[in-house]
A and B are shown apart, each in its own frame.
Chain A
Amino acid sequence: MCVALPGRVIALKDRKATVDFSGNLVEADAGLVDINIDDRVLVHAGCIIQKLTEEDADFMTEFADYIRELEA
């Protein structure tokens, strides 16, 4: 339902950001987030809907622990 793609903010002026997706530069609205230049963000329909955290989650390890607990 909701196509959104991660990109990097390369310019920011008022509520307008320029976001880079592998060289594709798109003007996106930045009014729904607090961001800075170089942040990674998620863009949906020309609008930044979230700032992405860089940390790649180790949720699978966590989840495996959780399952082990359940099954124990």
Chain B
Amino acid sequence: MTDKEIAEFLKNYNGPDVSLMEICGSHTAAIVKSGIRSFLSPHIRMVSGPGCPVCVTVTSYIDRLITLSEEPDNVICSFGDLLRVPGSRGTLEEAKACGDDIRMLYSPLDMLEQAAKDSLHNFIFAAVGFETTAPVYAALLENARKLGISNIKLLTSLKTMPEVVKRIGRRMDGYLLPGHVCTVTGFGLYEPIAADIGTPMVAAGFDAENILQAVFALVKLKGKGVVKNFYPSAVTAEGNKKALKAMDRFFEAGDASWRGLGMLGNSGLYLRRDFSDFDAGSRDLTEDRENAGCHCSKVITGQEKSTDCPLFGSTCTPSAPKGACMVSREGACFNEFINR
């Protein structure tokens, strides 16, 4: 089938209603950017999932980062998106404005050079992310050990996908699997989950055509517990074994607290005890104080639409976000808002 035929099919689809979740925030952003939602049949509902690390980070994590940034010996390094996420007492951006040393980096590995040059400070990376980014932190630590750089630490909020997919389970009729998470982990581990809940899953890349093909496949496969790989140039069944090994060397699985989902067994990654010197105190950051009235938790689990939230567009906007889903460029509410 040509891409045009697929688009036509999805425009004119008149079968039973289907709710499909794109787990990954980059898919949400790509779907919005390419205008896919504007022509999908009203019988196909795309739901933004919990695969935006910023959106599922609990407030106690942000609070801990700010506390760490207040110590004059510490330099906090972070990806851009995290800077504006509200904790229970403000954002990193505000802490930076008050003089805390908070630096935005493109890569965690850029911290090596900065830390090597400035041995008087501790360089702490705000290590959020999923299975795609966890190996990057492993690579950072491998390099730090090799180069003998000891003033590097991570404050981790690392999460893994399979348990959360199980948790949302049959509520969806199909899952667009996160392409770059699957690049690392492989799609094989989703096969038993798909079979168990009887729901199709498709691993997809990020260009609009690839996403449309995957959506088409999910509609066609409704009710079948199978996994298909539509991103074979980057994704295999078993993933990147070397990256998985590096991850396993430094990190172990543990329970993790997700915004909106609460504690989920076995859904997080923590530095192993052998490497606790690198840990800036990441365990036990479970408390989450969502702003009163914020429905982020229901939105990212597909129970509500952004527009169902009483704060959406009134007191919660991209300029003054109350919930993390409105902060992130990949957040469900942000994307809903900018396309109203």
Contact = CB atoms under 8 A, between A and B. Distances in A.
B233 A2 contact: no
A60 B24 contact: no
Contacts of B1: 60, 64
A45 B228 CA distance: 27
B240 A50 contact: yes
A46 B289 CA distance: 33
Interface residues of B, number: 43
Contacts of B107: 45-47
Contacts of A72: none
B330 interface: yes
A50 B234 contact: yes
A49 B183 contact: yes
A46 B240 CA distance: 17
Given A42-B234, A46-B106, A50-B184, A32 B243 contact: yes
Secondary structure of the A contact surface, majority rule: loop
Interface in B236-262: 240, 242-243, 246
Contacts of A49: 132, 135-136, 180, 183-184, 240, 243
Nearest to B242: A32
Contacts of A55: 232-233
Contacts of A29: 109, 136, 139, 143
B232 A57 contact: yes
Contacts of A70: 224
Contact of A1 (B108, B142, B181): B181
A52 interface: yes
Nearest to B235: A50
Interface in A35-72: 42, 44-47, 49-50, 52-57, 59-60, 63-64, 67, 70
Contacts of A1: 24-26, 51-53, 129-130, 132, 178, 180-181, 330
B108 A45 contact: yes
Nearest to A59: B230
Contacts of B183: 4, 42, 49-50
Nearest first, the 3 A-B pairs at minimum CB distance are A46-B107, A2-B132, A2-B180
Interface of B: 1, 24-26, 51-53, 79, 106-110, 129-130, 132-133, 135-136, 138-139, 142-143, 178, 180-181, 183-184, 213, 217, 220, 224, 228-230, 232-234, 240, 242-243, 246, 330
Given A1-B51, A45-B109, A47-B139, 15 more contacts: A1-B26, A1-B129, A2-B132, A3-B26, A4-B132, A4-B183, A29-B139, A31-B139, A46-B108, A46-B136, A50-B184, A55-B232, A59-B228, A63-B213, A63-B230
10 contacts: A1-B130, A2-B180, A15-B139, A32-B240, A45-B79, A46-B109, A49-B180, A54-B233, A57-B233, A60-B213
